[in-house]
Structure 1
Amino acid sequence: MGNRISICLWSCLLSLGAAVGPALGRERGAVRLSLGEAIERAQACSIDAMMAKHTYLSQYWQYRSYRAQMLPSLSLSGTIPNFDKSYTSLQNAVTGGYNYVDNYAMRNSLGLYLQQNIAATGGNIQLYTGLDRLDQFAPEREVTWNSAPVSLILNQPIGGFNQLRWDKRIEPVRYEKAKYEYLESMEAITAQAVTLFFDLLVAQQNLDIARKNRDNTDTLYKISQERFRIGSISKNDLMQLELRLLNEGMSINTNKLQLDLAAARFKSYLRLDEGDSVALDIPGSVPGVEIPIEEAYRLAFTNTSFEYRNRISQLEAEMSVAQAKANRRPQATVYARFGLNQVAETIGGAYRNPLDQETVRMGITVPIFDGGVARGKVRMALFRQEVTEAEIDKERIDRKQDIYLKVMQFNNQNAQCAISARADSVAAERYALSLRQFAAGKISVLDFNTAQSERNTAHTSYLAELQNYWNYYYAIQRYTLFDFMHGRNIAACFDVVSLEKQ
């Protein structure tokens, strides 16, 4: 009987060798990823990355469209042909009576416009050249050419709201905000990838632990059965091991379900094939980086979309006030046209000895009484402006508090990870020692259970501290758009050309 026990002990020790140390084995899969590789794939392949890219590009082309409005535009317009054969009513200038006359004519016209918007005044100026041909078929065949070799046309509102001037102030800021928001969206993708990575990693580790625990407990249960037969352990201790073996079997099923769910979310986000099996590497020791709080403050307010969002809010509030005030004032529109014009029976004659052509027209609108509507709109716009300023001040205070909290948490996390890593190593060594001692009959089932629970807790805590470290770091990176580990300004590396080619 003693020989049989000795053989069981040796087989137990050989089978438990894989349990020593904090690193647990895992199944090999088709895809193996580190944390950095998972982040890179998420930023390149995820649906969120595609949405962030197209959201930015839509803002980019909106800005390009705005810029195009400030450049000269050339357009061609015409009516070819405009044929009319009908009876038309015509009033007699002397008697005032109407007669129907036969209209049988065709008019063709062609014009070329060069237009430039004037942001400073809100008007536009045009340079025009055009040519009309009138063919009269009855009562006699006549051809008349009407040319406008060159005309200068001005459309200028006076006293009204100048949208172009405000667009010139707001649109460049809105575009800069879009660039920083794109980079912040990519950092949000990084944070989500970190969360899903550690969710899957913890699920894999928990399943590995559950399987190791079940295998080890099964081996020790078989040894304990032999000991129970010779009376070296009690029935209670044997039943404790049997109960633990059953619980660990249920734990495997629970952890398998958790692993399947975490793997499905991870593969869906990174757009991996559903049939791929994924193996994740536990991140190594964390870099010894400490982030200066003042530098984090400076970057959070100057290197992100935060101030651009606030600036746009301020400008839009100011624009609303300016628009409301403009609507209370008298407004006018000036139309002026200066150029040359000539009419002849031949096209050559239409360009010979052109005559002056001048047209000046002004329309005016003067508010007299509206029951206080315009005044009320001005007051409302001013109140909204004050509310906007107060909200911006509050957001600055809240953002500073958030940055302080995250930097303090991150700087403290280095020590937390070091302590947790040491605890994980000590717990693993103690568990391995407890296995050998229990197999040798030197400790009780209770002591073995305690060592196993502490090993499980220490390893889970270590992974949780690693996740907290990277969560804090990438949260700060999103708040500052600065890579403190490599001393790299993320915003300075932005390249719209490469983004469009993707």
Structure 2
Amino acid sequence: MILFKIRGNFLLTNLVFILLLSSNLLFSQKKLTLEELLTLTKSSSLEYQIIQRNYLKEKLEYDIYTKSYLPRVELKSSLPTYNRSINQITQPNGDNIFIEQTQANSTLSLSVFQKLPFSGGTLLVNSSLNRLDLLSSKKVSYSSNWINFFLSQPLNGYNSFKWSRKINKEKFIRNNIKNYKRFEDLNISAVKLFFSVLINQKKMELTQKNIDLTKEYMEIVKKKDSLGRIVTSDFYKVKLSLNELIRKYEVDINNYKNSMLGLRNLIDFKSKDSIILQEPNFLELPDIDRGKLEQKLMENTVNYSMDLEILESEKELDKAKKERGVQIDLELAYGLNSNSNNFNDLYNIPSRREYANIGLTIPIVNWNENNKKYQVQKLNNQNLLDSYQRKKKSLSVEVNNIISEIASLFKQVEYLQENISLIKLNINSTYERLKYGRQTWYEFRRELFEEEKILVNYLSTIQQIWLIRYQLRKNSLHDFFVKKDLFFK
């Protein structure tokens, strides 16, 4: 009698403990599918908002850059600048005298600046009007630059504007792709978190089921023990297994809570409702066109990783090539100027200002440094091109590996689905034999743990399929499971 009281108290204590551990999971539950989670990452994920803002920032920065090639017009004006000082004045006979002067100077100017990307030059056009008030003598004088043209043009040198336009355009395209790939990384994180929670949830459910089975069998063992049909040690074996399962259930709940916390943080889910995940819909084996997959990976992975580096290298190669010889720069200026003490006479007769200069930079003794720099850059450029070709050649192997891996994962799912059905049938059969003494408890216990192992392998394989789908979306910017191109918005 004492033995059965101890057993009864033991079962009651464990039952209460299990109910307390799981009560928070049974209250106010919210079901969530993987598709819903992926949608929530767009609407409530802080990471997604950061990606969106980065995309907008890159767009604005590129717009600023493209507008820099349009004419820049500036109007500048200064209010009368007051100046009182003692100045040295040279007389007509050559003598210098010092005179105290009080002046007010006003200026108004209009400037137009234009880059010439096709030639690498710059053009400046400006016009200005100045007024000088000699307050001490109450005199006024005016000066005017009617119009001034200034052209600076390299004749055979490096055109930085041409390369800057190419590189900044490529950077903009690359940054757009980079932002989209970051979004796919977010999807990949969501898939990993979803399956982490789902696997822990399934483990918890399976452990609970095994606890119920063990408790049910303990009642059978008690009856047999009371009739003297089994030895007492058999009861302790079952009790030890129950203790182990209860401890495992604690671990499963703890793992579930930790993984759920990561999921809630991803989607910023503040509700205290419990989230119960639903097993995702089974994806169908995609019919992937090898040629299209290779093309998409070429455009969005190989070219994405190499195009900008190759452009930068070609820019440096062109610069080194142009700088190793004689460099010729042309400067031209033309203007119409005038001055008068009367504003009405200011624009009567202008004086011309003309300027022309051809500048030569000739390397005489630099120990062949410029040519060596060119050779270094040429070797570097060739290495990049060879690396590009090597990546292109390895694509076909990578495509075969991807298609083979996807096919293998789907076959593994079919195999595991069949094993899940078989292990459930086997557990039912083994349990029936156990009740009639034709099976040992440890043999039955081994089947219980084998069921969890197969279930975890099954869900892990499903996870791999979803992960390879989104990894492929990231690398190709195309969803081959639904045959759809992807665009970042």
* TM class by smaller structure: 0.7 to 0.9
Q: Residue 270 and residue 82 in structure 1: after superposition, are their counterparts in 2 closer, same or farther (change >3 A)?
A: same
Report the Cα offset of residue 194 of structure 1: 0.8
Aligned partner of 1:61 in structure 2 is 60
80-89 vs 67-76, which deviates more?
Answer: 80-89
**Structure 2 residue aligned with 1:292, among 289, 292, 301?**
289
Report the Cα offset of residue 103 of structure 1: 3.4
Alignment of 1:360-439 (within 5 A): 360-439=356-435
In the alignment, the residues of structure 1 paired with residue 89 and residue 326 of structure 2 have an alpha-carbon distance, to the nearest angstrom, of 40
In the alignment, the residues of structure 2 paired with residue 469 and residue 376 of structure 1 have an alpha-carbon distance, to the nearest angstrom, of 52
Report the Cα offset of residue 35 of structure 1: 0.9
In the alignment, the residues of structure 2 paired with residue 479 and residue 346 of structure 1 have an alpha-carbon distance, to the nearest angstrom, of 73
Aligned partner of 2:10 in structure 1 is none
Aligned partner of 2:120 in structure 1 is 122
Report the Cα offset of residue 376 of structure 1: 3.2
Stretches of structure 1 that go unaligned for 5 or more consecutive residues are 1-25, 496-502
Q: Residue 274 and residue 395 in structure 1: after superposition, are their counterparts in 2 closer, same or farther (change >3 A)?
A: farther
Q: Residue 478 and residue 449 in structure 1: after superposition, are their counterparts in 2 closer, same or farther (change >3 A)?
A: same
**Structure 2 residue aligned with 1:458, among 445, 449, 454?**
454
Aligned length: 465
| Contact persistence 2:34–2:278 (CA under 8 A) | yes
Aligned partner of 2:161 in structure 1 is 164
113-122 vs 45-54, which deviates more?
Answer: 45-54
Per-residue CA deviations over 1:365-393 (Å, capped at 9, x if unaligned) read 33322334333322322222123223323
Per-residue CA deviations over 1:206-238 (Å, capped at 9, x if unaligned) read 112122212221221122121122233344432
Is 1:100 the counterpart of 2:98? The answer is yes
Q: Residue 407 and residue 99 in structure 1: after superposition, are their counterparts in 2 closer, same or farther (change >3 A)?
A: farther
Stretches of structure 2 that go unaligned for 5 or more consecutive residues are 1-24
Report the Cα offset of residue 354 of structure 1: 3.9
Structure 2 letter corresponding to 1:377: K
In the alignment, the residues of structure 2 paired with residue 198 and residue 272 of structure 1 have an alpha-carbon distance, to the nearest angstrom, of 17
| Contact persistence 1:267–1:274 (CA under 8 A) | no
Percent of pairs identical after alignment?
Answer: 19
311-320 vs 416-425, which deviates more?
Answer: 416-425
Structure 2 letter corresponding to 1:197: F
| Contact persistence 1:28–1:279 (CA under 8 A) | no
The secondary structure found in structure 1 opposite 2:158 is coil
241-250 vs 317-326, which deviates more?
Answer: 317-326
Is 1:52 the counterpart of 2:51? The answer is yes
Is 1:75 the counterpart of 2:71? The answer is no
The secondary structure found in structure 2 opposite 1:273 is coil
Aligned partner of 2:269 in structure 1 is 272
Aligned partner of 2:6 in structure 1 is none
The secondary structure found in structure 2 opposite 1:232 is coil
In the alignment, the residues of structure 2 paired with residue 376 and residue 489 of structure 1 have an alpha-carbon distance, to the nearest angstrom, of 46
Aligned partner of 1:19 in structure 2 is none
Aligned partner of 2:234 in structure 1 is 237
| Contact persistence 1:160–1:331 (CA under 8 A) | yes
Aligned partner of 1:282 in structure 2 is 279
Per-residue CA deviations over 1:259-306 (Å, capped at 9, x if unaligned) read 12211222222222274522111113222323232221111112x253
In the alignment, the residues of structure 1 paired with residue 247 and residue 106 of structure 2 have an alpha-carbon distance, to the nearest angstrom, of 89
**Structure 1 residue aligned with 2:221, among 193, 215, 224?**
224
The secondary structure found in structure 2 opposite 1:417 is helix
The secondary structure found in structure 2 opposite 1:134 is strand
In the alignment, the residues of structure 2 paired with residue 30 and residue 340 of structure 1 have an alpha-carbon distance, to the nearest angstrom, of 83
In the alignment, the residues of structure 2 paired with residue 76 and residue 451 of structure 1 have an alpha-carbon distance, to the nearest angstrom, of 86
Alignment of 1:184-203 (within 5 A): 184-203=181-200
Aligned partner of 2:468 in structure 1 is 472
In the alignment, the residues of structure 2 paired with residue 287 and residue 398 of structure 1 have an alpha-carbon distance, to the nearest angstrom, of 28
Tell me the TM-score normalised to structure 2 length: 0.87
**Structure 2 residue aligned with 1:330, among 326, 332, 347?**
326
In the alignment, the residues of structure 1 paired with residue 88 and residue 372 of structure 2 have an alpha-carbon distance, to the nearest angstrom, of 51
In the alignment, the residues of structure 1 paired with residue 271 and residue 395 of structure 2 have an alpha-carbon distance, to the nearest angstrom, of 40
Structure 2 letter corresponding to 1:476: L
Per-residue CA deviations over 1:307-348 (Å, capped at 9, x if unaligned) read 143121111001112222333333344332324333223333
Per-residue CA deviations over 1:29-57 (Å, capped at 9, x if unaligned) read 55432111112222443343233333333
Q: Residue 72 and residue 384 in structure 1: after superposition, are their counterparts in 2 closer, same or farther (change >3 A)?
A: same
| Contact persistence 1:116–1:124 (CA under 8 A) | yes
Structure 2 letter corresponding to 1:55: N
306-315 vs 144-153, which deviates more?
Answer: 144-153
Aligned partner of 1:488 in structure 2 is 484
The secondary structure found in structure 1 opposite 2:31 is strand
In the alignment, the residues of structure 2 paired with residue 397 and residue 476 of structure 1 have an alpha-carbon distance, to the nearest angstrom, of 19
The secondary structure found in structure 1 opposite 2:365 is coil
Aligned partner of 1:176 in structure 2 is 173
Report the Cα offset of residue 442 of structure 1: 5.0
**Structure 1 residue aligned with 2:245, among 230, 248, 251?**
248
The secondary structure found in structure 1 opposite 2:330 is strand
Structure 1 letter corresponding to 2:128: G
Q: Residue 91 and residue 427 in structure 1: after superposition, are their counterparts in 2 closer, same or farther (change >3 A)?
A: farther
| Contact persistence 1:160–1:332 (CA under 8 A) | yes
| Contact persistence 2:91–2:97 (CA under 8 A) | yes
The secondary structure found in structure 1 opposite 2:146 is strand
The secondary structure found in structure 2 opposite 1:370 is coil
In the alignment, the residues of structure 1 paired with residue 247 and residue 419 of structure 2 have an alpha-carbon distance, to the nearest angstrom, of 27
Q: Residue 376 and residue 47 in structure 1: after superposition, are their counterparts in 2 closer, same or farther (change >3 A)?
A: farther
Q: Residue 254 and residue 484 in structure 1: after superposition, are their counterparts in 2 closer, same or farther (change >3 A)?
A: same
190-199 vs 452-461, which deviates more?
Answer: 452-461
In the alignment, the residues of structure 2 paired with residue 91 and residue 408 of structure 1 have an alpha-carbon distance, to the nearest angstrom, of 94
Per-residue CA deviations over 1:143-186 (Å, capped at 9, x if unaligned) read 12222333333222344322111012222222111222222211
Is 1:347 the counterpart of 2:343? The answer is yes
| Contact persistence 1:91–1:99 (CA under 8 A) | yes
The secondary structure found in structure 1 opposite 2:109 is strand
Per-residue CA deviations over 1:37-89 (Å, capped at 9, x if unaligned) read 11222244334323333333332222212211111121112333332211234
Aligned partner of 1:13 in structure 2 is none
Q: Residue 89 and residue 355 in structure 1: after superposition, are their counterparts in 2 closer, same or farther (change >3 A)?
A: closer
